[in-house]
Amino acid sequence: MMSMMPLFLTRFRHPAQVVVAGFGLAIALGTVLLALPVSIADGASADWLVALFTATSAVCVTGLVIVDTESHWSVFGEVVIAGLVQVGGLGIMTMATVFTLLVSGRLGLRARIAAQTETKTLSMSDVRRVVLKVVMFSLVCEAVTASVLTARFMIGYGEPFARATYLGAFHAVAAFNNSGFALWPDSIMRFVSDPWIMLTIAIAVIVGGLGFPVVFELARSWRHPRRWSVLTRITVSVTVTLLVLGTLVFLMTEWRNPRTLGALDDPGKLLAAFFTAVMPRSAGFNALDVSQMYPSSWLATDVLMFIGGGSAGTAGGLKVTTLGLLAFVVWAEMRGESRVNIGHRRLPEATQRQAVTITVLSVGLVALSTYVLLALTPHGLDQVLFEVVAAFGTAGLSTGITASLGTAGHLLIAVLMFIGRIGPLTMGSALALNRRARHYELPEERVIVG
């Protein structure tokens, strides 16, 4: 019997279109489920805009909300949200590939290409094995995270076993998949001084945001950095650099702010600053009141959210790999070198163009969206830019203006979350139905730059 996956794939001419359609279908299904009366805590009918926004935020593993998650949604609604986060984190194509394997026991070429697009594996022959490893690794990490959180909620806060397990599982899924959904109105601010909860969530966010190829390579050869691929070297080095710099920036900026770090002791300040530096990777939990931070901290958070996490992981944003590649391109140009070399490898020109294209599209999208949202709302530039970058970087952080953006603003943010999850280049590729090959070259003419 032919599975539904190949039939679904054959309706699209480009693998990226399958990814776009898959995420769109998941959002549509999530919207319908969240609009059901059973999903609402008080049994009333849900607003379709609220359901659409929440479903988009969940599938795109963002965490931005316009209603309080715990008080507005029933247990069924919360489970739907967690399920959408899980599907969005693993990727529609990853889940669909596993479904195809289970049903038919084989994987066709077109399905392999689609899965490769989502998982970003380097060899199509490895897609089947890699996808299964991704799923198993994700479930194991979530199980470990849930176990630690469950134990802490029971021992440290006296929660009954069932409630502690539910809280642990929900936040483990949200953390590993870099989503900022939390079952408390203040996110996790009440646990700001609890290293068990803070560090467990932070580690899950970092591991999920590194990217599956990097995690697998580190597991194989973490003792031999010289054997690491260019992808792993760039991802690890840029990630560590951003975490250290982010922690130092928040410590220096917010140290004396009585509404954030100022109320904590020195170890608590260090813990909260590190956690605050981790979350803009696209996770979105907040242990400090973001609305009370200084504008300089908002700007630093904007930069971290825009960069995001690693490629082929659960994080969003521009990706640390893109930033690292651009840094090498700039360095080579400044030195007058005709080729971009990283270690003992040469960076292909196509990869350089891809990094530049993604960056230009991302900057343009953020700038245009900020302008539109400024025109639609009465909020200032700092808050609007923060909201736009958080949506594009699929980070659930907010200065507190999400609920007051209005219908047009909410739809704009939803579109940004969608584009930010699948990536500007993937979206552009999906919309380009035809690729035209030029069979001639035009005369070259140098243009003054700068």
115-150 pLDDT, tens per residue? 655 665 555 556 677 778 888 889 999 999 999 999
Per-residue pLDDT, 364: 94
Look at residue 428 and tell me whether its pLDDT is greater than 60. no
Per-residue pLDDT, 14: 59
Look at residue 16 and tell me whether its pLDDT is greater than 70. no
Q: Indicate whether 265 belongs to any domain.
A: yes
Question: What is the Cα 199 distance to its own chain's centre?
Answer: 19
Angle formed by the axes of helices 381-392 and 295-307, nearest 10°: 20
- The count of structural domains within the chain is 1
User: What's the whole-number mean pLDDT along residues 193-212?
Assistant: 93
Q: Indicate whether 446 belongs to any domain.
A: no
How does residue 301 score in pLDDT terms, banded at 50, 70 and 90?
very high
Look at residue 102 and tell me whether its pLDDT is greater than 70. no
Q: Indicate whether 442 belongs to any domain.
A: no
Q: Indicate whether 378 belongs to any domain.
A: yes
Look at residue 33 and tell me whether its pLDDT is greater than 50. yes
How does residue 111 score in pLDDT terms, banded at 50, 70 and 90?
low
Task: Out of 100-104, 198-202, 253-257, pick the least confident.
Answer: 100-104
Percent over 90 (pLDDT), the chain: 57
Q: How many CB atoms lie within 10 A of CB 184?
A: 14
- Identify the domain containing residue 97 by its residue range: 4-427
**Average pLDDT, whole number, for the chain?**
86
Per-residue pLDDT, 1: 39
pLDDT digits (tens, 9 = 90+) for 58-87: 999 999 999 999 889 999 999 999 999 999
Q: Indicate whether 279 belongs to any domain.
A: yes
Q: How far apart are CA 230 and CA 122, in angstroms?
A: 13
How does residue 92 score in pLDDT terms, banded at 50, 70 and 90?
low
Per-residue pLDDT, 343: 77
User: What's the whole-number mean pLDDT along residues 8-17?
Assistant: 58
- Tell me which of 376 and 424 has the higher pLDDT: 376
The pTM of this model reads 0.88
Q: Indicate whether 438 belongs to any domain.
A: no
pLDDT digits (tens, 9 = 90+) for 260-281: 999 999 999 999 999 999 999 8
User: What's the whole-number mean pLDDT along residues 429-449?
Assistant: 68
Q: Which residue has the tokens 């990490």?
A: 141
Angle formed by the axes of helices 75-90 and 127-157, nearest 10°: 140
How does residue 103 score in pLDDT terms, banded at 50, 70 and 90?
very low
Q: Indicate whether 137 belongs to any domain.
A: yes
How does residue 355 score in pLDDT terms, banded at 50, 70 and 90?
confident
How does residue 5 score in pLDDT terms, banded at 50, 70 and 90?
very low
